[in-house]
Amino acid sequence: VGMGLAGVLFVRRSIDLAQTRSLRPEHDNLAGVPGEVVVYDINGPLFFGTAQKALKALTDVTPGVRVVILDMEEVNMIDMSAIVAMESIVKDLNGRGIALVINALQPRMILKLRRAGIRKRVGMIEFARHLDESVRKSQSMCLRV
């Protein structure tokens, strides 16, 4: 009984840890971000309940947005349910003509995404190591989209 309760509490706390927030253009690292680009900062582990909660905000982008940057530097875990949620988000955004830049995701997690079919597609999905690289990619993507 104790182990089961501990497991439930762990999952509950983990769900509360994962969060997504939109970064403001006045943020130090966001100089030069075009108006049609929005940056979301995703933090914490992404697995079952956390993935849906953390990624849901991405489906509510305002009209006129042409590129979404996902800053995933603080994501320390991603499981298959999160990958399925990412596939859904990518399909939704790309279907609306919105490109995606995935920023600072750990290489082992990028490999998981690639195995699941989420990989670079010029002009629609890009990967970047740093936020300034993501901003540069978003600027060139705005010219294409």
120 Cβ contact list (under 8 Å, min separation 6): 126, 127
pLDDT digits (tens, 9 = 90+) for 22-37: 655 545 566 778 889 9
Enumerate the domain spans of the chain: 2-144
Question: Are the CB atoms for 82 and 50 separated by under 8 Å?
Answer: yes
CB count within 10 Å of CB 12 equals 10
13 Cβ contact list (under 8 Å, min separation 6): none
pLDDT digits (tens, 9 = 90+) for 99-126: 999 999 999 999 999 999 999 998 899 9
Most confident stretch, 6-10, 14-18, 27-31, 72-76:
72-76
Question: pTM, whole model, 2 decimals?
Answer: 0.80
CATH 3.30.750.24 fits domain 2-144: yes
